[in-house]
């Protein structure tokens, strides 16, 4: 499968069968082997990339919801086409002046071996390769920017503040917790297995952690972990978790709403009943999507790349091998199968 | 009932009978005639004020909830004692150096004819009496600061933005709408009677208004009024209204959460199901309580007093005469009986 000019090669793809209602299942996707010409039309400004690492992210579930219910802020995947998501790839052909053959990039690509990118200005050229390339699907990519912007820009942390993170061992949560420790905060995270709870405490340096599946009363769990209340909540879960947090927030607390993974597969979302606390405690809740902060990528990298190089922040990935295993890896996010950032390796170079 | 030193006078009071569950009823309060010595202990720093105007405010319902459920951010009224709230009064005796007999003040006082104030530093001395004194329970008092801080400080309005206000003819809503018009925004309000809707359009200059009780689908009503969506929502209502608003917010919209009057009398609050919009649309929701902004009262007055004097902002009050009518006036807030700011006149001077 060489990548010389104009060659037609086979192209394995993960296709969305149809729009999805309720929980995502493996049968909602299928593998197909198509072919692709590794030739870009002259003057087209397009590039072809060979996909190396694909990122499994919770938001992707929302792109599979029928258009009527889809809130316009994510692309909707057309049934019959490859799923799209963030990934790392190598340019194999380019008519785009800013990128040349052999360049490494990260950005939105297809769940397939090769992808023709018609808007290559959305790709970030990877400048630093002394760190694992797969990190550009995580700590140095979209989840990293999300954690950085949500924590530093939205939550404006102060030393000594109490920080709570749900889905804390995930792609974003593990970073927020470590950023918070570096800011001198007291940090507690929750996750869904004993193994993840151990990871939070022993690998990521959280002050405390609990398994939310073993707590019959989330409110009580939070009161136990935060007798003084919560200053900053990094929201990845939504629903009942948000309700319990609102009761335990402190005056002038801040909530960065980054995701609500517990709600994406529900046809009827859980109601949040404790919103009145937002007034009494003068809480600020602010939603964020990483792409609003993409223009600040250089500023982000200046902060986070040294953290990675100096080992101040560690990053745990859950690696699935091969496109064949990509659907299961994506679905696993919603039942918490992944330990750390879920990545799919399509090819290593 | 002269106010010479040391005289003991009769003192009519509105007493809370017991903590309240569910909807507030007249039988939860009763009138009592007590007596009070119009003498302040020397060196005590206390003052006695004769109450002139009392303010009926929705938050007062929360002070009647049993302590266990009361979220610490409001005082709890002890059963058997007079209700407390904001009011305008005249100093009849003072051991507090900053206030002297005859001074007019506004601040938290009792629902009674005379109140001994042991912490007179919480009172604001009224400096400008060329405007109606009762305005210091409204546009120039706590609701005014709420409207000013919530709209200008939290929502940071821009010319041409789309502003929606619920409970829009109330003490706060009518001001926010007029501030928004002065800022060059497009303003729609909702209220619960035809009369109030007319008031919004014809008296307060809103661009549009609707009667929420006549809309079987709030979402559709908002879509009709805001085909482009809502940039700023001033939240006075909560519950289903907030849910409908979240669906209709625009990207980077702001919600100042000032009150949730629809929820205060409910033992089980309505769930808010559309919180996911906060993320997709990067909405900021921020709660506020007026007293956080009391230190900025002078700055507020500099903006709003000229609006009043120059007639740029009008203010509609609903005046109840006499303490006997105060319980009904307060209860009326929760069924929308009041047209404009609900005030109780205890005495006119």
Which of B260, B272, B278 is facing A287, going by the closest CB pair? B278
The fold for domain B142-291 equals: Rossmann fold (3.40.50)
% of chain B exceeding 70 in pLDDT: 97
* The predicted structure's pLDDT at residue B206: 98
Cβ–Cβ gap A284/B286 under 8 Å = yes
Residues of chain B with CATH 3.90.180.10: 8-138+316-345
* The predicted structure's pLDDT at residue B215: 97
Residues of chain A with CATH 3.90.180.10: 8-138+315-345
Q: Does domain A8-138+315-345 have CATH number 3.30.70.141?
A: no
Mean pLDDT for the stretch of residues B267-272: 88
Cβ–Cβ gap A279/B258 under 8 Å = yes
Cβ–Cβ gap B260/A276 under 8 Å = yes
pLDDT tens-digit series, residues B73-87: 778 899 999 999 999
**Which residue on chain A is closest to B256 by alpha carbon?**
A279
Mean pLDDT for the stretch of residues B233-255: 96
* The predicted structure's pLDDT at residue A3: 42
Mean pLDDT for the stretch of residues B125-129: 97
Mean pLDDT for the stretch of residues B202-211: 97
- The CATH class given to the B8-138+316-345 domain equals alpha beta
* The predicted structure's pLDDT at residue A205: 97
Q: How far is B275 from chain A (nearest CA, A)?
A: 8
Contacts of A240 in chain B (CB under 8 A): none
Q: Is residue B2 pLDDT above 80, yes or no?
A: no
Q: How far is B96 from chain A (nearest CA, A)?
A: 31
Contacts of A272 in chain B (CB under 8 A): 271-273, 275
* The predicted structure's pLDDT at residue B182: 98
pLDDT tens-digit series, residues B172-186: 999 999 999 999 999
Instruction: Count CB pairs under 8 A between chains A and B.
Output: 110
Q: What ipTM goes with this model? A: 0.91
Asked which of A4-18, B110-124, B161-175, B288-302 is least confident by mean pLDDT, the reply is A4-18
- The verdict on B292 touching A (C-beta cutoff 8 Å) is yes
pLDDT tens-digit series, residues B142-151: 999 999 999 9
- The verdict on A291 touching B (C-beta cutoff 8 Å) is no
Residues of chain A with pLDDT under 50: 1-4
Q: What are phi and psi of A81, to 5 degrees?
A: -110, 165
* The predicted structure's pLDDT at residue A268: 85
Residues of chain B with CATH 3.40.50.720: 142-291
Which of B73, B274, B276 is facing A281, going by the closest CB pair? B73
**Which residue on chain A is closest to B273 by alpha carbon?**
A271
Reported as a pLDDT band with limits 50, 70 and 90, residue B67 is low
Report the Cα A197 to chain-centroid distance in Å.
Answer: 19
The Cα-based distances of B210 to A2, A304, A306, B168, B244 in angstroms read: 66, 50, 56, 10, 14
Which of A273, A283, A287 is facing B269, going by the closest CB pair? A273
Q: How far is B213 from chain A (nearest CA, A)?
A: 22
Q: How far is A73 from chain B (nearest CA, A)?
A: 6
Contacts of B274 in chain A (CB under 8 A): 269
Report the Cα B332 to chain-centroid distance in Å.
Answer: 14
% of chain B exceeding 90 in pLDDT: 89
Mean pLDDT for the stretch of residues B16-20: 95
Among B285, B288, B289, the strongest candidate for a mutation testing the A interface, having the largest count of A CBs within 10 A, is B285
Q: Cα(B191)–Cα(B204) distance, rounded to whole angstroms?
A: 13
- The verdict on B74 touching A (C-beta cutoff 8 Å) is yes
Expressed in angstroms, the distance from the first to the final Cα of chain B is 13
């Amino acid at each position: 499968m060489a990548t010389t000019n104009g060659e037609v090669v086979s192209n394995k793809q993960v296709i969305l069968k149809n729009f999805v209602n309720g929980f995502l299942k493996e049968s909602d996707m299928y593998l197909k082997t198509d072919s692709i010409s590794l030739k870009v039309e002259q003057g087209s400004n397009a590039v072809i990339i060979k996909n190396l690492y694909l990122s499994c992210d919770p938001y992707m579930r929302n792109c599979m919801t029928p258009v009527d219910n889809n809130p316009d802020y994510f692309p909707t995947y057309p049934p019959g086409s490859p799923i799209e998501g963030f990934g790392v790839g190598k340019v194999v052909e380019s008519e785009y002046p800013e990128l040349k053959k052999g360049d490494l990039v990260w950005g939105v690509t297809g769940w397939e071996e090769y992808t023709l990118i018609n808007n290559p200005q959305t790709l970030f050229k990877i400048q630093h390769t002394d760190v694992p390339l797969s990190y550009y699907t995580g700590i140095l990519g979209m989840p990293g920017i999300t954690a950085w912007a949500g924590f530093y820009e939205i939550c404006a942390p102060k030393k000594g503040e109490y920080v709570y993170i749900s889905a804390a061992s995930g792609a974003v949560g593990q970073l927020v917790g470590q950023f918070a420790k570096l800011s001198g905060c007291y940090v507690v995270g929750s996750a869904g297995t004993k193994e993840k709870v151990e990871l939070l405490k022993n690998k990521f340096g959280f002050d405390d952690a609990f398994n939310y599946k073993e707590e019959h009363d989330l409110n009580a769990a939070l009161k136990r972990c935060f007798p003084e209340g919560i200053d900053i909540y990094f929201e990845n879960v939504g629903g009942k978790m948000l309700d319990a947090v609102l009761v335990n927030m402190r005056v002038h607390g801040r909530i960065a709403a980054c995701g609500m993974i517990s709600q994406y597969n529900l046809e009827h979302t859980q109601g949040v009943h404790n919103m009145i606390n937002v007034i009494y405690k003068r809480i600020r809740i602010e939603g964020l999507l990483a792409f609003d902060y993409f223009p600040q990528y250089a500023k982000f990298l200046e902060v986070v790349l040294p953290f990675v190089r100096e080992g101040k922040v560690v990053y745990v990935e859950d690696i699935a091998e091969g496109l064949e295993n990509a659907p299961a890896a994506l679905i696993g996010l919603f039942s918490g199968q992944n330990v750390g950032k879920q990545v799919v390796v399509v090819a290593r170079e």
